[in-house]
Amino acid sequence: MLMAGVSVLAQTVSRQNSYRMNDRLAGRQIVCPSFSETGSGLVWDISQGIEASNNEEYTIEYTAVDNESEEPIAATEQNTRYLYRTQGDSLLICGFENHTTRVSYDQPEAYLRFPLHYGDSIEGYFHGLGKYCDRLGMRHYGRYKTKADATGVVVLAEGDTLRNVIRLHTERTMAAEMMPIELLDSLSTYTQDSIDLHIAVDTALVRMDIYRWYAEGYRYPVLETRVRRDGSGEQVLAEAAYYYPPSALASISYDPGNEESRTRANGTGGQDKDRGNTDWADTEFMTSRTSDKDAASSSDAPESNGLYSIDGRQLKEGQTVRNGIYLKERQQGANRSVKKVTVKNN
């Protein structure tokens, strides 16, 4: 999976990315990519991972916790309900429950803040009490930091390239304690200092690294990866990645703010009508003739090229293009590369 540098516009996480009751996401699990680079102007190519994945649907359903209130909202996936509520400018994680465990946070985690720009971060502590199998009391606590650490574009197997993507990285260090259920009602909330002290001496910590890629005009992430490690962060215990195609994200009912953003990003609200006479083949020649020819001569596999405008539209072969910055994608056999090119018509 490729990562390369390219200049793009930055996105912002806003209230248009908050969770809504009655939404349903349909995606699928893919091969977990390893994208560690941070910064602006990156390209995340997930096309190979998508092609290698199975086609089994992976769903998340957002519902009201009860029939009397829209708050909090439950996000249900893999038989676990994660409880959220909006408070002020933040979306908070309030707890979780499944067939064995139920935890309610008296000190919730801020999972999103509105707005969240590139370079912004939120951090803090979480703490909750609950039950395990209705036989043991449970304390769940830890600390977290979420940072908007990268911007760029995402290359998809469907032939699309998503522009104006912002990535959030959440690092969560957590621990759990079990005790006789009779003691549960007498337990007090750990302070932040207490959480730090317990984390410093706990030998059974778990670290979660969660990456979420938000594209302009889509309420939910197009890609999310989750990696569970031991407390040192060196040993991977489990990992997973989930891909939600833009077509599925765009099918969410009545989301006018994001629909308007998608329309604006696609340039349908008005385009520059001044176009040059340089065709697609000429653009290839002007921008990267030497490197592409050298690369093609090293393999017998056929070479294919794609040219994309900065708003994500693929230009057809023979289509005239205007002056500006584009992304050029080249594929030859299993090799794929993406580079920024500049078109200047004489």
Structure confidence by residue, pLDDT tens digits, 133-152? 999 999 999 999 999 999 99
Same domain, 42 and 163: yes
Same domain, 20 and 156: yes
Same domain, 199 and 82: yes
Task: Specify if 112 maps to a domain.
Answer: yes
Same domain, 227 and 322: no
pLDDT, residue 294, reads 43
Task: Specify if 272 maps to a domain.
Answer: no
Structure confidence by residue, pLDDT tens digits, 9-26? 447 999 999 999 999 999
Task: Specify if 275 maps to a domain.
Answer: no
Least confident of 225-234, 262-271, 276-285: 276-285
Residue 296 has pLDDT above 70, yes or no: no
Same domain, 137 and 51: yes
Same domain, 288 and 260: no
Same domain, 8 and 144: yes
Cα–Cα nearest to 284, from 264, 257, 304, 260 = 304
Q: Residues with Cβ < 8 Å from 292, sequence gap 6 or more?
A: 284, 303, 305, 330
Same domain, 205 and 56: yes
Task: Specify if 274 maps to a domain.
Answer: no
Task: Specify if 270 maps to a domain.
Answer: no
Q: How confident is the model at residue 175 (pLDDT cuts 50, 70, 90)?
A: very high
Say how far apart CA 12 and CA 269 lie, in whole Å: 20
Residue 33 has pLDDT above 70, yes or no: yes
pLDDT, residue 298, reads 46
Q: Judge contact between 207 and 173, C-beta under 8 A.
A: yes
- Mean pLDDT score, 252-268: 83
Same domain, 28 and 146: yes
Least confident of 23-32, 49-58, 125-134, 179-188: 49-58
Say how far apart CA 125 and CA 27 lie, in whole Å: 31
Task: Specify if 293 maps to a domain.
Answer: yes
Identify the residue whose tokens are 């990003």: 265
Residue 131 has pLDDT above 70, yes or no: yes
Residue 272 has pLDDT above 60, yes or no: no
Task: Specify if 269 maps to a domain.
Answer: no
Same domain, 182 and 313: no
| End-of-domain residue from the set 239, 264, 289 | 264
| End-of-domain residue from the set 235, 264, 293 | 264
Please, what is the average pLDDT of the chain?
A: 82
Residue 78 has pLDDT above 70, yes or no: yes
Enclosing domain of residue 151? 3-264
| End-of-domain residue from the set 264, 291, 307 | 264
Task: Specify if 36 maps to a domain.
Answer: yes
pLDDT, residue 279, reads 36
Say how far apart CA 299 and CA 297 lie, in whole Å: 6
Strands 136-155 and 39-45: parallel
Q: In the chain, how many domains are there?
A: 2
Same domain, 36 and 105: yes
Same domain, 197 and 157: yes
